[in-house]
Structure 1
Amino acid sequence: MVQCMKRLILFGISMIALSGCSLVKQKTPTATPTPSTVQAVQPTPVPTPEASTIPDTNIATQGGTVEKTIPKQATIKTSKGEIVVELYPTDAPNTVQNFLAKTKSGYYTNLTFHRVESWVIQGGDPVGNGTGGGKMPTELSARKFEIGSLGVARGGDINVSNDSQFFICTDDCSWLTGQYTNFGKVTKGMDVAKKMAVGDKILGITAK
């Protein structure tokens, strides 16, 4: 009898223990929060720079560089006849401009050919002995000096030429190439040039 009572008591304790376990409140799992929608940040628009108001100074002139029309032929009137020369403004622009300015002003009228040799005649000196006239830069080129070439006289400095004295080659003068300003050539009247003598006058020079 006592044995039966012990068994009943043990059975009851076991049931109470099991009931206690089931009474433990099950913790409801916390729901994983739905991530909030992140609003994309729109980049601040970069303002487009305004067009520069500085005018373009590198605008090509329509038709290219405009060059003044200048005479390319001159007639030297002498006491022995006329000598017609073609001018080279491309090779010696400053020399040609200077020569034309002097012809227009009448600078050469009544001056003489003060030097005459077997291969050259030289004139245009206001003093008449080869010492007169001013100075200007020499304009050298690769154009060959030959019979009929029109050149500018100069002294010992190759970079400095006379601004009024000119010469005409009446024979071979190729050694002058690259040493003196070559600004023209006789196209008519070479026979007149070869007849010149010291003291013969330049009656005037015209250009067209």
Structure 2
Amino acid sequence: MVSRLALMMALPALVLCTSTTVRGQDPAAPVHVKVDTTEGAFVIELNPAKAPKTVDNFLKYVKEGHYTNTIFHRVIDGFMIQGGGFTADMKEKDAPRMVRNEGGNGLKNDHYTVAMARTSAPHSASSQFFVNTANNDFLNRENSQDGFGYAVFGRVVEGKEVVDRIGKAATQAKPNPQVPGMLMQDVPTTPVVIKSIEVVEKK
């Protein structure tokens, strides 16, 4: 049986970088983004105090409109939902900026937290992210086999029912257009499209 860690290592590379805030005041203040999907919307509270480089890079992709019309391309019930890198026709979007892994920031891969996806290379995270749909302690730095773990940079604070709904989506294997003959596993049968991600004021 393939382990959950092996599943994460098999995920396509995602990369994040640094240096852009959307605030005029305290750069460590929480930032909220609304993720509007075809299954509904949810709000993520980003934590720049604990994950400054990761949050900064994520917000750059948000401001550039990178996430518009991407999908949650990998959904594993009771584990996580991953998105931010592929379009509905399974074309991978260019995401050249990578960020240094901030997995040792004290934030845990608990239920409804948001973390960066990456390959087996510790500092390969770019635009793709995932929402934990369970407590995934094995993804934390102290439990990881490579000594880096998966960097948490936020948590879902509104719309958890939407995350739950996406996490229960029926899935199938689909051909990977970038790699002939290779199948991508756990792809929702009906595309779950991210219509937009935008910064919002928290009420």
When normalised by structure 1's length, the TM-score is 0.62
CA contact 2:28–2:48 (8 Å) conserved in 1: no
Q: Determine which structure has greater relative contact order: mean sequence separation of CA pairs < 8 Å that are 6+ residues apart, divided by chain length.
A: 2
Can you list the C-alpha shifts for 1:26-65, whole angstroms capped at 9, x where unaligned? xxxxxxxxxxxxxxxxxxxxxxxxxxxxxxxxxxxxxxxx
Could you tell me which residue of structure 1 aligns to residue 116 of structure 2?
152
Residue type of the alignment partner of 2:95: G
Could you tell me which residue of structure 2 aligns to residue 125 of structure 1?
85
CA distance in 2, matches of 1:121, 1:68: 28
Equivalent residues in 2 for 1:124-203, closer than 5 Å: 124-126=84-86, 128=90, 133-134=95-96, 135-140=98-103, 141-158=105-122, 160-178=123-141, 179-196=149-166, 197=169, 198=188, 199-203=191-195
Residue type of the alignment partner of 2:192: D
- The root-mean-square deviation of aligned C-alpha atoms, in Å, is 2.2
CA distance in 1, matches of 2:154, 2:70: 20
In structure 2, stretches of 5+ residues that fail to align are 1-24, 142-148, 170-187
Could you tell me which residue of structure 2 aligns to residue 110 of structure 1?
69
In structure 1, stretches of 5+ residues that fail to align are 1-65
Larger Rg, first or second structure (1 or 2): 1
Count of matched residue pairs: 142
Could you tell me which residue of structure 2 aligns to residue 207 of structure 1?
199
Alpha-carbon spacing, 1:207–1:83, altered in 2? closer, same or farther (3 Å): same
Helix, strand or coil at the partner of 2:195: strand
Alpha-carbon spacing, 1:130–1:152, altered in 2? closer, same or farther (3 Å): farther
CA distance in 2, matches of 1:131, 1:175: 29
Could you tell me which residue of structure 2 aligns to residue 72 of structure 1?
31
Higher share of residues assigned strand: 2
TM-superposed deviation, 1:68 = 4.1
Alpha-carbon spacing, 1:166–1:130, altered in 2? closer, same or farther (3 Å): farther
CA contact 2:27–2:48 (8 Å) conserved in 1: no
When normalised by structure 2's length, the TM-score is 0.64
Helix, strand or coil at the partner of 1:164: coil
